[in-house]
Structure formats: C-alpha cells, structure tokens
C-alpha cells in the first residue's frame, strides 16, 4: 500500500500498487489529461509503470522542462516507424534525443532525398494522428536477439547482444513498430507535440570510422507548434548570422584543409583580433595583472608532473626528438605560469600575484567536431592565473566575477548566467581537497549574492569551476569565461610561499579566462551582432567613396585626415557608381560610408551614411571627424583609436 508524497507536501495512500496515470487521475481530470510522465524518487517513468513502494512523486506535463527530452526521444521513434512503413527494407539502428531535437540512423543503400524527408514527415504526422499506445515490454536477451534477427534488424540484434549480463532488456512497442529502448516514453504517439525533419547526414555505425556508413536523419521536436515555429525562426536567424559566411563577406579569415581547425586571419580580421587583445590588456593592467609569455612546447616531464600527460594526453599534439625526449605543444598555459611563479621565493606579502598571457594553445579535436571559429584546434586564450592565500581566495573570486560581468556588458551581453561545476569522475587530488575548494567557491558566490545554477560533475580535472554563459541576440547560450579554483597543481608542481609564520605554504591557484578563446569569442560576437559590430570594434570604421573621378584627391585627403585622427579608414576611388560602392561596402558590414563628390569637395564636407540606414547626413569634415572619433572611443574611452589599432 504505497504512500506517495506530492511536491506541495500533500500525500496520497493507495491500497495497491498504482500507476502514474492512476495517480494523475486521482489528483484531478485536468492533470490526468495533461500528464505525460511521472517522476518517482527523481527517476522519470512511463505513466503505465506501477509504483509499488512509498516514494516522492511528481506528475510531468508538457509545461515541465523534464518532458522535452522524452518528447524528442518519442519523435525519434516516430521517425523510425515512419521510415519502416515507407521503406521496409531499411534497417534501423539508434535514435536518441539531442540538444534542440533528435536523430535516427538508418542503413539504406539508396540515399534519402529532400523529397523523401517530406514523405517521411507526412507519415510521422499520420502515425501521430493514429494515437498508438506506447507499451513497455521486458524480454529475455536471447529471445530479443532472435526476434530482431528474424526481422532482418541485424544492427538492433548486435546492440542487444552487447548489453552486459544482468541488465534488463526493455523494448517499446507502438503500432507495428518495436524498438530497443530504456525509456521512458509518452503514453501514446498522439502526445509527441510538434516536429520537423531538418536534414540528412552521414554517420558511422557506433561512431567508428572503420564501420559502415549510415544515413542520419535529423529533426527537431517541441511541445507545441508555437515553440516549433519560434525555433525554426531562430534557425533562420542563425543561418543569416553564421560567422563563417560573415567572415568571408567581411574579409576577416578563412580555413583550409592544410591547417584543419586553425584560422588564417586576414588584415581586417587580425585588426578585430588585436582590438580585443588591446581592450583586455587595458582591463587586466587596471586590475593588477602582470603579462608574461611562456614557451609553446615543453618536455613531457613537466606535463607528467602537472597531471596533464595522464589525463589530457589524447588531446595534445606530441613529438619525440632523436634523443628520445617527448615534447608536447601546450594545450594550456597553467604549468608554464607556475614556472614563472616559482622563480624566486614568494612571501605572503607578494600575494595575490596575478599573471596573464595571451597564449596560443593547441588541442586535438576530432575533425567532425570542428566548426569555424567556434570549435578549433589552435586558439588564443586571454588566460590568467592568480596565486593567493586561502584567506584571499574569496576576494579574488569576487574580483574575477565582477570583472568578467563588466567586460561582457561592454560587449553588449547583459544576460549572463553563472554555473557552478563540481568534481568530475576523472580527476586528480584527494576528496578532502575537493571539499575545501568547492566550499570556497560556493562561499564566494553566496557572499556576493549572485544567483547561480549547479552543473554536477563538469568541473576541470584539477578543481571546481564557474562557467559564465552568455545569451545572444537570438536567445542562444554560449559558455565563454571560466574561473577554476585549484590546490592540486601547486601541490604537484611544488609552488609555495612563505607565510607570516615563516613556514612554507601552498598558494591557492585560480585559473581564469574571460573571453575564453579569442577565436570563439569573435565568432560569437559576429553572430550576436549579425556582422553589424559596434563602431569601436569594427575592423574598418569608415570608407571614403568617390562619387566622381574628379574628387579623388579630396577623397584621399579626407581619408588621410581620418587616419591621422586614429581611425581605421579605407578610400574607394574606383570608377564605379556610388550606389554600387554603397551596396558592396554594406555587404562587407562597413559601418560608415563617407561619400564625396564635387559639391562636398568645394564645401569641405562629407555625406555620411550609416550601415542599415538609407538616410545620409552632410557634415563639415572637422565635425565628422570629431563625431566619429568620439563614437569609436569605445567603453574604455579610446581603446579603438590607440596606436597599434588605428
């Protein structure tokens, strides 16, 4: 006779085992109609499964975020059933829910076409309309293998045969379709919500390139049509804002096969890159950081001592010299910064010591994971490490957090979430040390009164961390900055300081990067602004374009005047119509176009047109220079027009 505790504190007792559907009906007809799943002591279950013992329960509806992954998983089963009905000879393999959607992999000799996707999606809608009951079944392993082999589903049979002994074999049946699955699932196909098939891609069986190639159909699913339409609109916006396309149009960078995962920066792109570096350098100088530079390649002895060789080697580029020594191109800067810290004896009076570096690092990422500037193998970090006493840790964490949030505001990101990530399964250091570090980091956040969420198991292998997640103009989230608290690396690399008691102590080491990767941050900026960067960030502030050939000398004089004022300016003296020039420079996202003709040359004026506007303003040259210079000064009052970026 289970007693079930509800989220509002109420409890309901039953005379016999009860299903989630029975519980929802007992609470009320509205909940019974809306119920999709039930959570039992934190575990999501089908509504049809009996609850036999006392438990804390929660009925899940489409309004609960917990339902979304299951809706998408059911959509994958809907997809597989539709494909099997339309193409009976196709073999089904696996079909999980993923971020924003789902996919299913199929073995089929003939490639799926866009017309096939339309047909499959229509059949999915038919199956949804049938409202087929989704039923859970437990099978003996050999019986399940035999059944799928008999159906010609050899991939499913292989998956079942690989399940360890002792684990239950659960199948889910809907209509004439049956699939291997742990569940849970919705009560029927009619509850799936709104869905859309998106594309077909190739995928190796079980993710192994040595295996056969399958066809992967991707889709997205949401609780209702409104949310689906909103997501598809975001996809359209994201396509318009794709930083790779913008990089080409704006002449910023390119990639090529000879250097996978590494950007070739063009002059305008490198100007943008240097603008970010100059900005961050000023912020760090003001915050008391000392900039250093450490070697790009170091002996494996150092990486073994730091623990990276044991835990991160598969992501490192390594080499062996003739004398048998192993070297690694650095994937991170922290061991090098410890070596700088260790030069000379440090006293508690020297702490906190803040060391920064715009260090280029290299990490091996699978080729399939590379994605423009957002996922690369070679990138530069605005990396820094703070060595401090335990008593200084909270204040330093607060200082980093405040600096990080202030910097994001300067770049137009007001909506920032902070996630606290604790110890991962694969880590170094004793649990007692982890207890101390996690308590210190959470204590710092709570003392600051900042809201944060918990990201369990996602800390660095050497310490817990904070992740700073930005929300962009179309609602996407980007994890950028990190702050990690570490006592393990100072221990492993023997970093010490002399305390007030005259004894040697281990410093606390804070690892922090605020942009994270400069390459990735630039990609995020381009997509956030759709290429329409704030004037102070724009690689080219203005183009001076001639209306007629006769005013070329005046155009050059205007460009020179702007350049002398520290502005980044180009002159377009081509024998083309001004309308053509405006369209071309607008496509390249140049924020200001200064058109000059015979009238402007005679009056000493310029006609100013802003990107995205058809209006233009005629200004005296002196006034135009002064206005533009004020506008490009940037949030720090001049970073964009300093020597080196102007």
* In the chain, % of residues over pLDDT 70: 99
In a domain, 646, yes or no: no
- Answer yes or no: are the C-beta atoms of 556 and 550 closer than 8 Å: no
CB atoms near residue 16 (< 10 Å): 9
What local confidence, expressed as pLDDT, does residue 644 receive? 38
Encoding tokens for residue 156? Answer: 């499913």
Encoding tokens for residue 153? Answer: 């589903």
The mean pLDDT value for 114-143 works out to: 96
Note whether 270 and 347 are same-domain residues. yes
Q: Is the pLDDT of residue 515 over 50?
A: yes
Instruction: Sheet containing 177-180: give its strands across.
Output: 134-139, 169-174, 177-180
The mean pLDDT value for 158-180 works out to: 92
Instruction: Estimate the share of the chain in helix, then strand, then coil, as percent rounded to the nearest 5.
Output: 40, 30, 35
Q: Is the pLDDT of residue 643 over 60?
A: no
Note whether 90 and 207 are same-domain residues. yes
Encoding tokens for residue 268? Answer: 């305008």
Last residue of a domain, one of 25, 44, 60: 60
User: What's the sign of the alpha-carbon dihedral 587, 593, 596, 599?
Assistant: positive
Q: Is the pLDDT of residue 22 over 80?
A: yes
Q: Give the pLDDT confidence of 77-89 residue by residue, as tens digits.
A: 999 999 999 999 9
Q: Is the pLDDT of residue 639 over 70?
A: no
Distance CA 100, CA 219 (A): 9
Distance CA 539, CA 274 (A): 10
Last residue of a domain, one of 60, 85, 106: 60
What local confidence, expressed as pLDDT, does residue 646 receive? 37
Distance CA 490, CA 380 (A): 24
Distance CA 604, CA 86 (A): 73
Q: What is the CATH number of the domain that holds 103?
A: 3.30.980.10
| DSSP conformation letters of 590-607 | -SEEEEE-HHHHHHTEEE
What local confidence, expressed as pLDDT, does residue 567 receive? 95
Q: Give the pLDDT confidence of 108-128 residue by residue, as tens digits.
A: 999 999 999 999 999 999 999
> Three-state SS for 401?
helix
Q: Is the pLDDT of residue 450 over 90?
A: no
Q: Which residue has the tokens 């902070």?
A: 418
Distance CA 249, CA 243 (A): 10
The mean pLDDT value for 260-280 works out to: 97
- Answer yes or no: are the C-beta atoms of 615 and 582 closer than 8 Å: no
Encoding tokens for residue 195? Answer: 């869905």
CB burial of 50-71 (b: ≥16 within 10 Å; e: otherwise) equals ebeeebebbbbbbebeebbbbb
In a domain, 247, yes or no: no
In a domain, 618, yes or no: yes
Distance of CA 499 to the CA centre of its chain: 41
In a domain, 92, yes or no: yes
Q: Give the catalytic positions in this structure.
A: 334, 363, 381, 383, 385, 465, 511
Note whether 635 and 510 are same-domain residues. no
Distance CA 191, CA 189 (A): 5
Distance CA 181, CA 502 (A): 63
> Three-state SS for 432?
helix
Omega before 352 cis (within 30°)?
A: yes
Encoding tokens for residue 631? Answer: 């506008």
Please, which residues have CB within 8 angstroms of residue 133's CB and are 6 or more apart in sequence?
174, 187, 188
Q: 143-152, 276-285, 307-316, 505-514 — which is least confidently predicted? A: 307-316
Q: Is the pLDDT of residue 426 over 80?
A: yes
* pTM reported for the whole predicted model: 0.81
In a domain, 98, yes or no: yes
Note whether 433 and 310 are same-domain residues. yes
In a domain, 222, yes or no: yes
> Three-state SS for 456?
coil
Please, which residues have CB within 8 angstroms of residue 11's CB and are 6 or more apart in sequence?
3, 4, 5
Q: Give the pLDDT confidence of 580-637 residue by residue, as tens digits.
A: 999 999 999 999 999 999 999 999 999 999 998 889 999 999 999 999 999 999 898 8
Note whether 512 and 552 are same-domain residues. no
Note whether 371 and 394 are same-domain residues. yes
In a domain, 536, yes or no: no
Last residue of a domain, one of 529, 551, 586: 529
Helix (H) or strand (E) holding 312: helix 308-312
Please, which residues have CB within 8 angstroms of residue 182's CB and are 6 or more apart in sequence?
170
Omega before 635 cis (within 30°)?
A: no
Phi and psi at 136, nearest 5°, equal -90, 135
- Answer yes or no: are the C-beta atoms of 221 and 198 closer than 8 Å: no
Q: What is the CATH number of the domain that holds 379?
A: 3.30.930.10
Note whether 497 and 553 are same-domain residues. no
Count of domains for the chain: 4
Note whether 223 and 147 are same-domain residues. yes
Q: What is the CATH number of the domain that holds 12?
A: 3.10.20.30
Note whether 511 and 568 are same-domain residues. no
The mean pLDDT value for 251-270 works out to: 96
Note whether 514 and 385 are same-domain residues. yes
Note whether 340 and 475 are same-domain residues. yes
Q: Which ranges in 449-517 belong to alpha helices (H)?
A: 488-492
Distance CA 367, CA 239 (A): 22
Please, which residues have CB within 8 angstroms of residue 214's CB and are 6 or more apart in sequence?
93, 105, 106, 107, 202, 203, 204, 205
Please, which residues have CB within 8 angstroms of residue 428's CB and are 6 or more apart in sequence?
307, 310, 311, 461, 462, 488, 492
Distance CA 562, CA 585 (A): 18
- Answer yes or no: are the C-beta atoms of 628 and 634 closer than 8 Å: no
Distance CA 424, CA 427 (A): 6
pLDDT band of residue 645 (cuts 50, 70, 90) is very low
> Three-state SS for 142?
helix
Encoding tokens for residue 626? Answer: 């002064």
Torsion of CA 327, 333, 336, 342, to 10 degrees: -160
What local confidence, expressed as pLDDT, does residue 640 receive? 57
In a domain, 240, yes or no: no
Domain of residue 26 covers 3-60
Note whether 56 and 174 are same-domain residues. no
Helix (H) or strand (E) holding 437: helix 431-448
Distance CA 18, CA 3 (A): 10
Closest CA to 74 of 174, 5, 169, 6: 174
Q: Give the pLDDT confidence of 520-530 residue by residue, as tens digits.
A: 999 999 999 99
Encoding tokens for residue 406? Answer: 């202030």
Cα angle: 269, vertex 272, 275; to 5 degrees: 150
pLDDT band of residue 641 (cuts 50, 70, 90) is low
DSSP tag of 614: -
Please, which residues have CB within 8 angstroms of residue 137's CB and are 6 or more apart in sequence?
170, 171, 172, 173, 178
Q: Give the pLDDT confidence of 546-590 residue by residue, as tens digits.
A: 999 899 999 999 999 999 999 999 999 999 999 999 999 999 999
Please state, rounded to an integer, the average pLDDT across all residues of the chain: 93
| DSSP conformation letters of 7-40 | TTS-EEE-SS-EEHHHHHHHH-HHHHHH--EEEE
Distance CA 377, CA 168 (A): 41
- Answer yes or no: are the C-beta atoms of 304 and 350 closer than 8 Å: no
């Amino acid at each position: 006779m289970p007693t079930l505790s509800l989220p509002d504190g109420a409890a309901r007792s039953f005379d016999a085992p009860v299903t989630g559907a029975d519980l929802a009906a007992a609470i009320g007809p509205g909940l019974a109609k809306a119920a999709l799943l039930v959570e039992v002591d934190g575990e999501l279950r089908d509504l049809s499964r009996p609850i036999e013992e006392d438990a804390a329960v929660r009925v899940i509806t489409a309004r609960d975020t917990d339902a979304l992954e299951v809706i998408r998983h059911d959509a994958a089963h809907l997809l597989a059933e539709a494909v099997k009905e339309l193409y009976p000879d196709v073999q089904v393999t696996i079909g999980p829910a993923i971020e924003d959607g789902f996919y299913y992999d199929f073995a089929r000799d003939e490639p799926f076409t866009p017309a096939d996707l339309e047909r499959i999606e229509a059949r999915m809608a038919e199956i949804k309309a049938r409202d087929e009951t989704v039923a859970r079944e437990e099978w003996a392993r050999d019986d399940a293998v035999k059944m799928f082999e008999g159906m010609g589903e050899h991939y499913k049979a292989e998956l079942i045969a690989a399940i360890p002994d002792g684990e239950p074999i659960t199948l889910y049946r809907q209509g004439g379709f049956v699939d291997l699955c742990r569940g849970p699932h919705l009560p029927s196909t009619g509850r799936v919500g709104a869905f859309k098939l998106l594309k077909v891609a190739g995928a190796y069986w079980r993710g192994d390139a040595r295996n056969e190639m399958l066809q992967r159909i991707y889709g997205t699913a949401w609780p209702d049509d409104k949310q689906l339409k909103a997501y598809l609109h975001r996809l359209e916006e994201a396509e318009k804002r794709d930083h790779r396309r913008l990089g080409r149009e704006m002449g910023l960078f390119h990639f090529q096969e000879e250097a996978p995962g590494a950007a070739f920066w063009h002059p305008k792109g490198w100007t943008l890159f240097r603008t970010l570096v100059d900005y961050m350098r000023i912020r760090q100088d003001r915050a008391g950081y000392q900039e250093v530079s450490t070697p790009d390649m170091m002996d494996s002895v150092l990486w073994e001592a730091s623990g990276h060789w044991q835990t991160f080697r598969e992501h490192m580029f390594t080499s062996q010299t003739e004398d048998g020594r192993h070297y690694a191109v650095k994937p991170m800067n922290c061991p090098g910064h410890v070596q700088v810290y260790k030069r000379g004896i440090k006293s508690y009076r020297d702490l906190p010591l803040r060391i920064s570096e715009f260090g280029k690092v290299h990490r091996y990422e699978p080729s399939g994971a590379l994605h423009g500037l957002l996922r690369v193998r070679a990138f530069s970090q605005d990396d820094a490490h703070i060595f401090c006493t335990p008593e200084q840790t909270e204040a330093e964490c607060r200082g980093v957090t405040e600096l990080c949030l202030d910097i994001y505001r300067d770049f137009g990101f007001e909506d920032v979430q902070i996630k606290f990530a604790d110890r991962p399964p694969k880590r170094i250091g004793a649990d007692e040390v982890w207890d101390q570090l996690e308590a210190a980091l959470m204590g710092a956040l709570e003392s600051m009164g900042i809201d944060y969420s918990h990201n369990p198991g996602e800390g660095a292998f050497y310490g817990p961390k904070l992740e700073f997640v930005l929300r962009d103009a179309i609602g996407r989230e980007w994890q950028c900055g990190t702050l990690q608290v570490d006592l393990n690396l100072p221990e492993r690399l023997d970093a010490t300081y002399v305390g007030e008691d005259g004894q040697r102590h281990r410093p606390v080491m804070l690892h922090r990067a605020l942009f994270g990767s400069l390459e990735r941050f630039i990609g995020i900026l381009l997509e956030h602004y759709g290429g329409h960067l704030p004037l102070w960030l724009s690689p080219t502030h203005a183009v001076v374009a001639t209306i007629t050939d006769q005013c070329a000398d005046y155009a050059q004089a205007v460009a020179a005047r702007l350049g002398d004022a520290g502005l980044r300016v180009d002159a377009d003296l081509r024998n083309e119509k001004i309308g053509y020039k405006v369209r071309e420079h607008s496509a390249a996202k140049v924020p200001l176009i200064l058109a000059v003709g015979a009238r402007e040359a005679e009056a000493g004026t310029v006609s100013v047109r802003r990107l995205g506007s058809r209006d233009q303003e005629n200004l005296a040259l002196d006034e135009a220079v002064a206005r533009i210079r004020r506008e490009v000064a940037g949030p720090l009052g001049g970073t964009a027009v300093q020597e080196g970026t102007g």
